Amino acid sequence: MKIETFLVILLVSSIFLILGCSDKPDQPVVIKSYPVKNLDGFLTQEGVEVDRDVSSDGNGSIKIVAPESTTVRLYEAGDIDIENVRLAYQAKIRAENVIGQAFLEMWCVFEGKGEFFSRGLRTLVTSDTDWKDTETMFYLKAGENPDNIKLNLVINGSGTVWIDDIKLVKHPLRRDEQL
């Protein structure tokens, strides 16, 4: 009877050990979300407006009419305690009559080291585009913790752009991304 109990305990322990050491990636975590209901906290106030009729989620969006190239400063996330992650700035963007392109831009500010940016050129919008999921990534190694994160929308050219469902999401670094 003692050997059977020992074998059961050994089997259960082995299963827990295998499950604990499995290579399942952690899930992404939304660390900041900016619901678009009004312009509170929005940094650029000129040339932007809340559009209640055009929205990806039915709650309104921010509409920017750009007669020429511009960078719209959206939000500053401040000091978020993160490092050793893949940081994603995500939003839904819609375009109308855009001559040029519009994309997300994220700046990570490190005290004493400067500001570094990432641009979402892989998911840019142009011309007439219905709501599109867009993002830009910033890879933060262990020990790299930004003092501030700035979120922008860049319009290179002219046209009308809407932005909605703005968020910062952290993803664990995959083994091949860790340095």
Give the pLDDT confidence of 59-90 residue by residue, as tens digits.
899 999 999 999 999 999 999 999 999 999 99
- Say what the pLDDT of residue 174 is: 80
Per CATH, the number for 26-173 is 2.60.120.260
Q: To which residue do tokens 């000091």 refer?
A: 79
Q: To which residue do tokens 């007669």 refer?
A: 67
Residue 48 vs residue 175, higher pLDDT: 48
What band does 9 get if pLDDT is binned at 50, 70 and 90? low
DSSP 144: -
Q: Chain centroid to CA 106: how far? A: 9
- Say what the pLDDT of residue 44 is: 93
When pLDDT is averaged across residues 10-24 and rounded to a whole number, the result is: 51
Phi, psi of 124 (to 5 degrees): -70, 165
**Tokens (6 digits) for 4:** 């059977």
When pLDDT is averaged across residues 152-170 and rounded to a whole number, the result is: 97
- Say what the pLDDT of residue 175 is: 72
Which residue ranges make up each domain of the chain? 26-173
What band does 25 get if pLDDT is binned at 50, 70 and 90? low
Average pLDDT, the chain: 88
- Say what the pLDDT of residue 80 is: 92
What gap in Å lies between CA 33 and CA 147, rounded to an integer?
18
**Tokens (6 digits) for 94:** 């819609």
- Say what the pLDDT of residue 13 is: 56
| Residues belonging to the chain | 179
